[in-house]
Structure formats: C-alpha cells, structure tokens
Amino acid sequence: MGRTGGPRYGAAVPTRLWSVVLAATDPPSLARFWSVATGWPAEADASGVVAVEPPAGSHEPGIPLVFVPNADPKVGKNRVHLDLDSRSADHQAAAVERLRAAGARPVDVGQRGVPWVVLADPQGNELCVLDPRDEYAAAGPVAAVVVDTPDPASLAPFWSAATGWPAEVFPSGDARLTRPDGRGPRLELLRSADPEVGRNRVHLDVAPFAGDDHAAEVDRLRALGATDVDVGQGDVPWVVLADPQGNELCVLTPRG
C-alpha cells in the first residue's frame, strides 16, 4: 500500500499529497464500497488498515484511499468529501445506480437544482457524482478531494506549499489546486459557513520525499500556520497537525 504520491516538481516542493484517509467502523466493508466506486482493488495489511488505489503498474491517475479503524460515531456533515468523475450523462446515471446498489443512499446537504448527485456511502460519508466536466478528464475516477472551509482563498497558499500544486482562486472565493502535470484529482477548497463539529472523519496525508528531513518539513508547515493537535494518536511515527483553518492532516515519514 501507499505507492508514490507523485514526482517532485522542483527542489522547493518538500512534501506532496500522499493519501486520503477515511475513519471507518468497519474498514474492509467501507473499502469494498469504494473499490466499487473507483474500480480500484482493495488491499488490507495486518493492522486492519485497508487501501483502495490504482493497480500497481497501471499508471492510472488517482490517489490512495486509506481506511483506518475508528469506533467514534459520525457527527454532522464531513468537512472533507470526494467527488467522483463522470464522462457522460449515461455514465453519471450508471455510476449513481451502481453506488446505490452497493449501499449508498441519497442525502440532502442543502443542494438545490444542481447537476451533480449527492450520496452518502454505507457509513455516512458524503460524496458527489459529478456531471460530465472537461476539466476532470485527466483526473481519474476521483475527480476532486473537496475541503469545506470558511476562507478558501486564504487557505490555498498553505495547501499549495504542502502539496507543491499551484492554486487558482476563483471570483467566488473558492480555490482549486491541480498537480502541475494535470493528472489525478484536484484539491478543491470550497467556502462553507458550517460550524466545525468534532474532528474530521476524512483527512489528508502529506509526505516528504525519501531522504528528506521529516522534522524540518513539519516545522516548515508549522511556520506556514499549522498547529499541533492531539486526536489520540499516541506514539506514532507521523505528526498530526491542523491546517490554519482547523482541518487535520498527517505528515508521514519520508518515502519514495
């Protein structure tokens, strides 16, 4: 599990987006759902963690989805969710039907008259099946990782520094970050006034490159406004931070 998170785009990019982590009461079951959603295989390790990611050697764009055991109940709407791509109206309709057959259900998060479909996975995590959009043609099955936050424009520089992806801020104040080669999901920061309720059940992991200094990269993110948080992680080799607007992330140890 956990293959490369992408190439280094210059020496000034010490960390990159590595995975999306979903807390699950039953990781294997939830991973099976997301395997259906993405078409990617699921692989478990001895600790009970399961990863769903593009097959080794396939070169398919995507980001690993990692499912970790957590018995805490879901409270409120997640602040991080996944958008799934579609290539046509028929593709979108078929994807919705397939996901509902796998255990998803429609959910109302206040959307009205939108062309995408909002569902919840079998453990209540919101997701969207997007209408066809050309800008996601090179994204893969996961079109975007979406973070709801009160001020996307001011948060975008932090995540650009954490991922090495340039940010585009729209007139609406929302922001989008895209890998320089255009492949894989977008990281989208959307304006939301919803209050923070507990810790995120979905969060992002970033990782330094092999041979880089883990402590130095953690300090770099702290200098950019991240703060240390305790989510009950105990003695682990990674470092848990919150971004400048309170969204948890983990800085993993260096890897290739």
DSSP per-residue letters across 36-86: HHH---EEE-TTS-EEE-PPTT-------EEEEE--PPP-S--SEEEEE--
pLDDT tens track for 22-71: 999 999 999 999 999 999 999 999 888 999 999 988 889 999 999 999 98
Of the chain, the percentage scoring pLDDT greater than 90 comes to 84
Domains of the chain are 15-251 (3.10.180.10)
Q: For 98-142, what is each residue's pLDDT tens digit?
A: 999 999 999 999 899 999 999 999 999 999 999 999 999 999 999
Please provide the average confidence, as pLDDT, over all residues in the chain. 93
Q: Per the confidence metrics, is the pTM higher than 0.75?
A: yes
Nearest CA to 175 out of 203, 202, 149, 201 is that of: 149
Q: Give CA–CA dist 218/209, Å, rounded.
A: 13
Q: Six-digit token pair at 21? A: 């982590």
Handedness of CA 16, 5, 63, 88 (dihedral sign): positive
On the 0-12 / 13-18 / 19+ scale of CB atoms within 10 A, 24 is buried
CA 76, CA 249: separation in Å to the nearest integer? 19
**Contacts of 96-100 spanning 24+ positions with Cβ under 8 A:** 96/129, 98/36, 99/33, 99/36, 99/37, 99/129
What is the widest separation between alpha-carbon atoms in the chain? 50
Hunting for tokens 């692989």 — which residue is that?
43
- Pair 201, 210: CB distance under 8 Å: no
Nearest one of 243, 250, 202 to 224, comparing CA atoms: 243
